[in-house]
């Protein structure tokens, strides 16, 4: 059965939902699934914007055929060559032998890297475009804007002048299957989708803040009334709210005055100290305090929380003279994803020679604009009663630092 939805009179969503994939990029858990969006523009010419993962090819080809209503396909625009979007290119080329494949030079080159397209006449079937090129399809004129490293080097986005729609590739995408609801205004986006949108951004695109900022600048120069990303809901209202989130995330600015306490604890004593700190912070009026066990929370969730929160407390046991391994993994990921502009406070634990505080400090020093608070809580096995005043001062320093920034 075909599953399509109208986006505008001329644009139809012909994408697919995947609720079976456990790990996106074989890395990120997606309990809410994911959508592979593709759009068909029906004008004097017909244009397909990207394809879908090969696992969804059957559903996708059915959707496209249904939406075309017997017409031929003139163009397939390839904005991004990651296999979750390009996985059905060859099938589309075979099914629609008239269709020309349009993409950046790099994208067209990657088609040949991923797939055997030696049987196709490249001259006939491929059309390279560059920054500022346009494609007139009748009433619609499509403008191609290069967006390298958002989030691969070949990426471009496409602006449709008539419907004022930005086909934004992976930008403005999110994890989560579309359960019949295509538009962000048909769901409780802030309540139900924002955490996954943030997790998608921080982990997938987070490293490329500078490139996202460059794309936002290009986007600001055109009148965008609609955003059609390759994953998740389409935006036809409230665009500025979501663009503002993107602006914040890509400038590595925290969204909320909040404290994320992330603890690595083998036997529970470091956890106990983190818990005691959370109570004190709450006592002192900090509303948004969250605790996360680094061993039990997927690193992609922790990265998303670190992007969101202004303040982070890392509480960690020493392990074989080093940082407790899952905390060490988190720190590697923070660096890889360019985490910056955070205020961090440390609690360390060791039974004979606590080293985690010093080692975490060294890791944080490799990152940009991390403010490390002066006081550190150092624990010998367990935080004993009698250290309340010290813990209180530690909490107070975090509170005052939060107020300073206001
Ligand atoms: C395998 C292992 C290695 C450890 N290595 C160290 C170490 O190198 N230095 C140290 O002071 N404590 C070491 N510890 C002790 C932990 O830091 C200890 O679990 C901690 O002090 C108690 O806090 P926790 O209950 O949060 O784990 C080690 C513990 C384990 C299980």
Task: Name the superfamily (CATH) of residues 5-250.
Answer: Ribonuclease Z/Hydroxyacylglutathione hydrolase-like (3.60.15.10)
Report residue 388 as tokens: 């309340």
Cβ–ligand 1 distance for 270 under 6 Å, the answer yes
Query: ipTM strictly over 0.85?
Result: yes
* Ligand 1 atom nearest to 271, measured from its CA: 26
Quick: pLDDT tens for 27-82: 999 999 999 999 999 999 999 999 999 999 999 999 999 999 999 999 999 999 99
Does residue 352 have its Cβ closer than 6 Å to ligand 1?
yes
Contact 317 CB / ligand 1 (< 6 Å): yes
Q: Report domain 260-404's class.
A: alpha beta
Q: Is the CB of 59 under 6 A from ligand 1?
A: no
The number of the ligand 1 atom at minimal distance from the alpha carbon of 381 is 21
Q: How far apart are CA 90 and CA 117, in angstroms?
A: 7
> What's the gap in Å between 389 CA and the centre of ligand 1?
25
Taking the centre of ligand 1 as the mean of its atom positions, its distance from the CA of residue 384, in whole angstroms, is 16
Q: Is the CB of 380 under 6 A from ligand 1?
A: no
Contact between 63 and 15 (Cβ < 8 Å): yes
Specify whether the CB–CB gap between 48 and 92 falls below 8 A: yes
pLDDT at 406: 63
Question: Quick one: pLDDT at residue 405?
Answer: 60
| Cis peptide bond upstream of 151, omega within 30 | yes
Q: Give me ligand 1 centre to Cα 362, in Å.
A: 20
Q: Is the CB of 46 under 6 A from ligand 1?
A: no
The rounded Å distance from CA 324 to ligand 1 centre is 8
Ligand 1 pocket, residue 356 CB under 6 Å? no
Ligand 1 atom closest to the CA of 379, numbered from 1 = 21
381 close to ligand 1 (CB < 6 Angstrom)? yes
97 lines ligand 1 (CB under 6 A): no
Please write the tens of the pLDDT for every residue from 313-343. Answer: 999 999 999 999 999 999 999 999 999 999 9
Measured CA to CA, the distance from residue 344 to residue 78 in angstroms comes to 42
Structural tokens at position 45:
């010419």
* Residues of the chain scoring pLDDT < 50: none
Task: Give the Å distance between the CA of 343 and the centre of ligand 1.
Answer: 26
Ligand 1 pocket test: pick from 349, 354, 356, 383 the residue with the most ligand atoms within 8 Å of its Cβ. 349
Is the CB of residue 171 below 6 angstroms from any atom belonging to ligand 1?
A: no
DSSP reduced 3-state for 404: helix
54 lines ligand 1 (CB under 6 A): no
Indicate the domain borders of the chain: 5-250, 260-404
Cβ neighbours of residue 374 closer than 8 Å, sequence gap 6 or more = 397
pLDDT at 404: 82
Same fold, 5-250 and 260-404: no
Contact, 47 vs 158, CB < 8 A?
Answer: no
- What number of residues does the chain have? 406
Is the CB of residue 234 less than 8 Å from the CB of residue 228?
A: yes
* Gap from CA of 303 to ligand 1 centroid (Å): 25
β-strand 377-380 against 340-350: which pairing, if any? parallel
For ligand 1, pick from 262, 264, 266, 358 the residue to mutate: most ligand atoms within 8 Å of CB: 266
Nearest ligand 1 atom, CA 380: 21
- Does the beta carbon of 378 sit less than 6 angstroms from any atom of ligand 1? no
Q: Output phi, psi for 128, to 5 deg.
A: -85, 140
> Measured between alpha carbons, how far is 274 from 272 in angstroms, rounded to an integer?
5
The CA 239 to ligand 1 mean position distance, Å, reads 49
């Amino acid at each position: 059965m075909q599953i399509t939805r109208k986006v505008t009179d001329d644009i139809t969503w012909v994408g697919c939902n995947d609720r079976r994939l456990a790990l996106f990029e074989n890395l990120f858990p997606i309990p809410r699934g994911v959508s592979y969006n593709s759009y068909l523009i029906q004008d004097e010419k017909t244009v397909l914007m990207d394809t879908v993962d090969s696992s969804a090819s059957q559903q996708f080809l059915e959707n496209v055929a249904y939406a075309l209503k017997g017409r031929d396909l003139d163009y397939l625009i390839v904005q991004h060559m990651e296999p979750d979007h390009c996985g059905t290119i060859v099938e589309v080329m075979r099914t629609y032998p008239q269709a020309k494949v349009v993409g950046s030079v790099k994208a067209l080159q990657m088609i040949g890297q991923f797939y055997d397209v030696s049987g196709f006449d490249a001259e006939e079937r491929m059309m390279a475009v560059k920054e500022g090129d346009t494609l007139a399809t009748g009433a619609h004129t499509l403008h191609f804007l290069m967006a390298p490293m958002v989030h691969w080097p070949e990426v471009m986005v496409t602006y449709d002048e008539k419907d004022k729609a930005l086909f934004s590739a992976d930008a403005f995408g999110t994890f989560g299957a579309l359960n019949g609801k295509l538009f962000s205004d048909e769901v409780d986006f802030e309540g139900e989708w924002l955490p996954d949108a943030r997790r998608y951004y921080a982990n997938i695109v987070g490293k490329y803040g500078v490139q996202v900022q460059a794309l936002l600048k290009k986007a600001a120069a055109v009148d965008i009334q609609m955003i059609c990303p390759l994953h998740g809901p389409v935006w036809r209202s409230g665009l500025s709210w979501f663009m503002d989130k993107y602006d914040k995330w890509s400038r590595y600015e925290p969204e909320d005055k909040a404290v994320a306490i992330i603890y690595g604890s083998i036997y529970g004593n470091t956890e106990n100290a983190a818990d005691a700190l959370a109570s004190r912070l709450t006592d002192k009026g900090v509303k948004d305090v969250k605790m996360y066990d680094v061993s039990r929370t997927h690193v992609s969730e922790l990265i998303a929380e670190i992007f969101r929160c202004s303040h982070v407390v890392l509480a960690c046991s020493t392990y074989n003279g080093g940082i407790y391994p899952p905390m060490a993994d988190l720190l590697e990921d923070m660096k890889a994803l360019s985490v910056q502009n955070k205020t961090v406070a440390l609690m360390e634990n060791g039974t004979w020679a606590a080293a985690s505080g010093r080692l975490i400090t060294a890791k944080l020093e490799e990152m940009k604009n991390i403010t490390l608070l002066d006081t550190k809580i150092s624990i010998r096995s367990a935080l004993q009663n009698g250290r309340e005043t010290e813990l209180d001062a530690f909490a107070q320093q975090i509170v005052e630092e939060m107020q300073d920034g206001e």
